[in-house]
Chain A
């Protein structure tokens, strides 16, 4: 493929999946600006790989893997800088939704995934928000497929527990 062709194909991949990658990053890091940065970083690194002659079979999985690595790296740095982390995590969901909170994108989903452990958050977001198959998720996370299936199953159970608890809380308020 000629140089122009590579570039065009790559930009098509941007048009097609930038929103999905953004969505994924947003629900993982709970920060719109950071999510935007991560999208740009993901695509930049993907381009650097291609420009160097790298060959990619499944471009979508490739993007998710880069994004996932960046997210993990980011959270490691956040753990190390605890004061900054506290400031970054300024978004603390209140018990009663207010107008300003309702304005936050995907507020309920955000609250839900934030209550999950990272391990489950990852796969739940990938399966239900990103619509990746368990096989694709396994490729992205470099895990065996049945490990992913088990994790999804357990994650979903936790989601159910969380939602039931929420439902009970709102019942009590009535």
Chain B
């Protein structure tokens, strides 16, 4: 009796549909949309979507509701100008267009990313963007406690999303992609830890907020490192002969990246703060060493270890690149006193004794011929 009722209810439900008139009306709207969005070969996804936003904003009232906090003048500007959503790209928390950037542009970017690995990379990139926003605000003296807390929430959401996807890949047996995501997170957080510690020194008036951000970043770095190490261990344990191709592929990727970053290094070293250059160089050399070790393992048919080493090389180079690019992104010069930054150290200035000790240690390690044991957590 009850089952029959359910069936009847479902049958009735299935008869619900669009009226002929409605269906035709929507189709006309769609045809117009298609006319204004022709098939293009190589257009940035964003451009397409932004054009789409202009049309759909008019059709969907609830999208306008999102923009409620904006003054009416800006809403009209948004409706009339196709470029507004693009302009939102550089906005920061507190700017009028920031909600558009985060709620519309980035959200839609996510929807249109159907490849899960790309989605994970997108989340890493968006986590980084939150950090860059915090850094820019701090550099301009606009990072208050409330804003910092908001940014941190968003940052953690993105980082967590990336971590979840990484573990899904691992569960599905795809350790290479999982490792790539964890490594990407780690490199990104480590590079920004450096930048934040630099900002702490040059913007002491924002000490509280920057420190709060730094604590969050350190926690994220730690969990990313943990995930990465775990995946490396899994990979090593599950290696088989098929891994040769993967290892060679990673070698090529690492080689290209190192080459790219070396060129970038040469370009940037004169105009970048000496301390940042020094830190970048340390990582770049470590990348080269890891690469060389990887080649040795490859020759000895240790494909899993080779893969892991090439992966490390790649992400160390990436970290070096992020370090060099920091000042450009921030828009200010970080005039850092020598040897103030230590990747394993505290936020504030080290005591003289410690400073000398660590300085000597680093120099010794860089001079030695054997395998490099830099204290970078690898």
Question: Do B56 and A19 touch (CB < 8 A)?
Answer: no
Give the chain A neighbours of B6 by CB distance below 8 A: 159-160, 163
Query: Distance in Å from the Cβ of B222 to the closest Cβ of chain A?
Result: 28
Answer whether residue A84 sits at the interface, using C-beta atoms and an 8 A cutoff: yes
Our pick among B5, B29, B116 for the contact of A40 (Cβ within 8 Å) is B29
Answer whether residue B70 sits at the interface, using C-beta atoms and an 8 A cutoff: no
A37-B49 Cα distance, complex, nearest whole Å: 17
Answer whether residue A92 sits at the interface, using C-beta atoms and an 8 A cutoff: no
A77-B33 Cα distance, complex, nearest whole Å: 25
Answer whether residue B357 sits at the interface, using C-beta atoms and an 8 A cutoff: no
A167-B2 Cα distance, complex, nearest whole Å: 8
Question: Do B65 and A39 touch (CB < 8 A)?
Answer: no
Answer whether residue B31 sits at the interface, using C-beta atoms and an 8 A cutoff: yes
Give the chain B neighbours of A26 by CB distance below 8 A: 16
A18-B62 Cα distance, complex, nearest whole Å: 21
Answer whether residue B338 sits at the interface, using C-beta atoms and an 8 A cutoff: no
Main secondary structure of the interface of B (DSSP, over half): helix
Given A19-B17, A22-B18, A48-B37, A54 and B55 contact (CB-CB distance below 8 Å): no
Answer whether residue A91 sits at the interface, using C-beta atoms and an 8 A cutoff: no
Give the chain A neighbours of B18 by CB distance below 8 A: 18-19, 22, 36, 39
Question: Do B59 and A77 touch (CB < 8 A)?
Answer: no
Answer whether residue B81 sits at the interface, using C-beta atoms and an 8 A cutoff: no
Our pick among B2, B41, B112 for the contact of A45 (Cβ within 8 Å) is B112
* Contact indicator per residue, chain B 33-53, by CB within 8 Å of chain A (1) or not (0): 110011111110100110110
Answer whether residue A112 sits at the interface, using C-beta atoms and an 8 A cutoff: yes
Our pick among B5, B22, B114 for the contact of A54 (Cβ within 8 Å) is B114
Our pick among B31, B39, B56 for the contact of A50 (Cβ within 8 Å) is B39
Give the chain B neighbours of A108 by CB distance below 8 A: 9, 12-13
A65-B45 Cα distance, complex, nearest whole Å: 18
Give the chain B neighbours of A23 by CB distance below 8 A: 13-14, 16-17
Give the chain A neighbours of B31 by CB distance below 8 A: 11
Given A36-B22, A51-B37, A112-B9, A44 and B56 contact (CB-CB distance below 8 Å): yes
Q: Spot the interface stretch: A2-10, A93-101, A114-122, A146-154.
A: A2-10
Question: Do A48 and B112 touch (CB < 8 A)?
Answer: yes
Given A109-B10, A167-B2, A18 and B15 contact (CB-CB distance below 8 Å): no
Answer whether residue B30 sits at the interface, using C-beta atoms and an 8 A cutoff: yes
Question: Do B2 and A164 touch (CB < 8 A)?
Answer: yes
Given A52-B43, A74-B62, A11 and B27 contact (CB-CB distance below 8 Å): yes
28 A-B contacts, Cβ less than 8 Å apart?
Answer: A7-B34, A18-B23, A18-B26, A18-B27, A19-B18, A23-B14, A26-B16, A34-B62, A36-B18, A40-B59, A41-B56, A44-B33, A44-B55, A47-B30, A47-B33, A47-B34, A47-B37, A48-B52, A50-B39, A52-B48, A53-B40, A53-B42, A77-B65, A77-B66, A106-B13, A109-B9, A110-B13, A129-B10
A26-B12 Cα distance, complex, nearest whole Å: 14
A34-B35 Cα distance, complex, nearest whole Å: 24
Our pick among B9, B30, B62, B114 for the contact of A44 (Cβ within 8 Å) is B30
